[in-house]
Amino acid sequence: MQGFCSIVFCFSVALVFCACSGEVPVPKPKGYFRIDMPKRGYEWYHEGYPFQFERPIYSKVVQNKRYSKSNLMLDMHFPNFNATLHFSYHPLKNDMKKYAQACKNLAMEHRVKATRIIEKRVKNDSTRVHGVVFDIRGNVASSYQFYVTDSIRHFLRATLYFNSKPNIDSTGPSLDYIKTDIDHLISTIRWTEVQTR
């Protein structure tokens, strides 16, 4: 009987060592596809509008379907990121404060889902471009918005949307990349004398 117990003990010890020698399976965390960031570069975009700016070379600008002479609407597509920056331009008629307040109200509608809303001032006296950038943190529909104006004749607003369900974990790297290019775009905005297209 003692021999049998010794055999069972040795077998049990060997089994424990064999079981511990392999890797223990661990569930993998949820992951996201790797995004290859496009090469940075800029070119002037004008096309006969009352404004111009340097756009990222990897973007494509098209007229929005709701475009009209009284409401110039453009879409800047970022195909690499499945995102669109929607522009709307309004000629001012002593109503700048109305448009500025409307932009702020639209940004503040994201408070329900936002973890933080940062307002950054835009001020370029030499080109008469002033405004506000709304950097909206959290799982919100539009994470980056801005408006710029000369306070007399021109008012340009833009909002960035990803064409997917809001999830900052997946869109975060893309958002950070695009924000750098939008900030560059804002810094290069110039008003032109063209009134309507």
* DSSP per-residue letters across 46-79: -TTSSEEEEEETT-EEEE-TT-BTTBEEEEEEEG
Lowest mean pLDDT among 1-10, 65-74, 99-108, 161-170: 1-10
This prediction has a pTM of 0.78
* pLDDT of 171 over the 80 cut: no
154-162 mean pLDDT:
95
Burial annotation 5-35 (CB, 10 A radius, 16+ → b, else e)? eeeeeeeeeeeeeeeeeeeeeeeeeeeeeee
Return the CATH fold of 51-191: Protein Transport Mog1p; Chain A (3.40.1000)
Question: What local confidence, expressed as pLDDT, does residue 32 receive?
Answer: 53
Tell me the pLDDT band of 38, cut-offs 50, 70 and 90: confident
Reported as a single tens digit per residue, the pLDDT across 67-103 is: 666 668 899 999 989 999 999 999 999 999 999 999 9
- pLDDT above 70: percentage of residues in the chain: 76
